[in-house]
Structures are given as C-alpha cells and as structure tokens.
Structure 1
C-alpha cells in the first residue's frame, strides 16, 4: 500500500481551475519529485496536502487514513510536515527553540501545568531539550544551538527548517524548493542531507524543485505538472527525457 495516495484532486479560485485531476502515488521510503513550470500549480498541491487549501474534489490518503480537507494541525499530527520556498523560521528565537517549536505538537502536559511550572512541565521541557539537541547534532548544528536563527548562514537555515519539520515526527516530509537561493556547494550538501534524512529517519520525501541537478541526483520518480494537470509521471530519467516534458518545462 502507498504511503500517500492522491486521486482526482482539484481546486478552483473564482473561475480559474488551478489544479485539475491531480493524482500521485508515493511508496514508503521514496524520494519523489514534483516539477513543472512556474505557475503550474505545484505549491497549490502542497497547500492542499497540508490543509492550507481545502480541495473542491478528490481525495488524499496518508498511510491508509483519509485526510482530505482536514485542518493543518490535524494533518501535521497525522504525519505530514513541510518546509517552504521562502524560509519560515522564528528568526528572533534561538536555533534550539526553533526545533522545540516543532516538538510542541507532542506536548503531554496541560496548559495549567505549563502556567504553574509544575514538575511534569519541567520533565517535559527537559525531554524536549534533549530531543531537540539530538536533531541539531544530526544536522551538525548543535554548536549553534544558542544562536539566533537569523544569524545562521543561508544553507544552515535550510537545514534548521528541515530539522524543525522532522521534530514533528512526520511520515512524509514535503520540501518546497529546498535548493532555492543556494550556491552549488550548498546544493551538493543539501542533496547529501536529504539522502541522510531518508535513510536515518526512514523518511518518505516529496519535493518541489527547479534545480534539475538536484532532481536528477536524488529523485527516484517524478510527476510533472503543467497548467494544473499531470503531464507525465514515472522514473526520473524517463520523465526528464520525455519530449512533452522537454517542450513544456525545459523550454527546448
């Protein structure tokens, strides 16, 4: 059974059909790419998968559970986490606190316990600190734990955003143009990071990306979106050599 199964997903804004009949099937542990020209509807798909938008039709099933139209927080608890094209960190908070924010969906104490700083609060906070530091060590960020997130170099901010997403304990990680703004060395390091995340965390990854070196270097399968509809899907090499894809996306 697929980890993510999307069928006939569609959404309209006013009279514009932004996504129509979108479908995708992603197996557990896959590195999967969603590509297409600017304005093709890729981020709109991500927004439907994460509950930012409610689809007009179609279904989204995660690990056998229908999550169609659920709230963002419920979808996150069900097992989908994401990053964004424009990094969305809490830049005035520490690197450690950014990861702890991701852990707060696993809080086991009540609001009253937190307000009164009861023993259960201190125990939970200690556990979150330890888990957050473990994640930071994975991404070689533990030495910057007390830095403001805004003071990290760009590439490390990307890593921190992925670490925070992983802190929510997802089954599926959505990466929205993770290589945007990166130089070649940072992109190479990002590729290694994504492979590591998949293997170390037994993670399934779906990413939107325009950097074809990154796409061809890590994605096992691709779906190509054009004008809100699936243009092609299949193994990465075959899709990137599809004449329709070359014409529509690569501009050749």
Structure 2
C-alpha cells in the first residue's frame, strides 16, 4: 500500500526527517510513535504533499506521489486528520462530512445556483452517504449540531469521519486519542478496527497513548530526532531498551 524509501526533508541546516523507510501492507493497522519533536507529523506532511521531500521517494500502491499537491494525493487515496482539530466549527456535523463528498456527488454550477435540475436528489444522496458514515461514530443523532459545540472527543471522531468520506485507501490519523478519557479511548479503539474492516482501508496512526498503540497496531515504527530508531511488532518495539531510553531518558 505505502512504500517510503530514504525519505528526508531539510529545513536550512536542520534535517527534520532523515533516511526514513516504511513499508505498509494493504489492510494493516500501523503505528508511528516517538517522543515529541521526533518528526512524526513532518512525515504525515510529506505523505500528504504539504511538504516536498528533499530526498527519497513515496509510493502509494506503486504510484510515485512525490511532487503531487495535497489535493492530487487525496484524490489518489490518502486522507488525514490533524493533531490540532480543523473542523468547520460554524457548520453542522452533517455538513462537515458532506464537504468531503464533493468528489463523490457532483452537480453543475447552474444546478447549485438554481437548486433545480436534480439538486434535491443530489443533496439527498449526500445526506444519506454522510449519515451512514456518522452512524459508525455514533454521531448521526447530532447531525444538526454545530461541530464547534461538540465535546472534544466527539470533535476528534467527526474529523475522522470527514476524512473517511473521501474514500481513502490509506487513512492517516494524527493523535486520534489526544484529549480523550480512558472510556473514550477504548471506544475509539473499537471504532478504528471497525472502519478498517468496514471500509477496507489501511490505517497509519501517530499516537502517544501506548495502551491504544499496543491494543490495535500490528506493527510499529519509532522515530527519534527524525530517524528510525526501531520497527517491529508492538511487543518487540515497546520492550526495546533504546525505545524506552528515548521516551524516558537515561
């Protein structure tokens, strides 16, 4: 599904990511972990075209995506959430998800201006598609609520729902459990497994909650100062002395 070879980016004299390699098989739940400032979100920005790599290649299902724009990369099948929530806070829960359906359901400029020529049918189709996704996250009963009025944990879930609406083959989740209480995190773990299976999507996530990481990820890579420190199964990685030192210090 995803192959990164010798991936790197340099800002002036700083190598934020250096010689990073990653192989993720289709359908896998993969975790990218590391201390704060290790370069994890920078990797996500490289994968989604926000940053252009200084070195190395990125391939999605064999197709080179280096140099593509974020929109082109999204159309090729990569969607993401953000460490800092970026919902349309003054739009409803339903409309946030519908905003991501623009590639699935289209109508002409004339139709959008006049609300005729099939406008109602297209809007109904989008409503149904968005509601089906919201049901997965138990948010369908809040479809008319302004997204900015949702509790923090539900805003996190809505951002995942919106990313999922673009029909990605690879879904990148940046700290999806941040700010959640233990019960919410447990529910999120079940939801992530569910969307992987229901939507046949491969998932790469950044997370600091090691219970979540150990509970759902099949493989992990650890970044430290922009370079890969270790990779393997959660048990192998989380018991690696170098990884423990990177997180806790000497």
Short-chain TM bin: over 0.9
Q: Which of 227, 230, 233 lines up with 2:228 in the alignment?
A: 230
Unmatched segments (≥5 aa) in structure 1: none
RMSD over aligned Cα atoms = 1.3
Q: Does 1:27 align with 2:45?
A: no
User: Aligned runs of 1:8-157 on 2, under 5 Å?
Assistant: 8-157=6-155
Q: CA deviation at 1:24?
A: 0.4
TM-score (norm 1): 0.95
Q: CA deviation at 1:246?
A: 1.0
The residue that corresponds to 1:216 in the other structure is: 214
Would you say the 8 A contact 2:136–2:191 is kept in 1?
no
- Deviation string for 1:50-96 (max 9, x for gaps)? 01101111111111211112100110110011111111111111000
SS in 1 for 2:247: helix
- Deviation string for 1:131-189 (max 9, x for gaps)? 00111112111111101111212221111111101000000110001111111111111
SS in 2 for 1:143: helix
Q: CA deviation at 1:13?
A: 0.7
Unmatched segments (≥5 aa) in structure 2: none
Q: CA deviation at 1:205?
A: 0.6
How many residues get paired?
250
Q: CA deviation at 1:234?
A: 1.1
Following the alignment from structure 1 to structure 2, what is the Cα–Cα distance between the partners of residues 250 and 124? Answer: 53
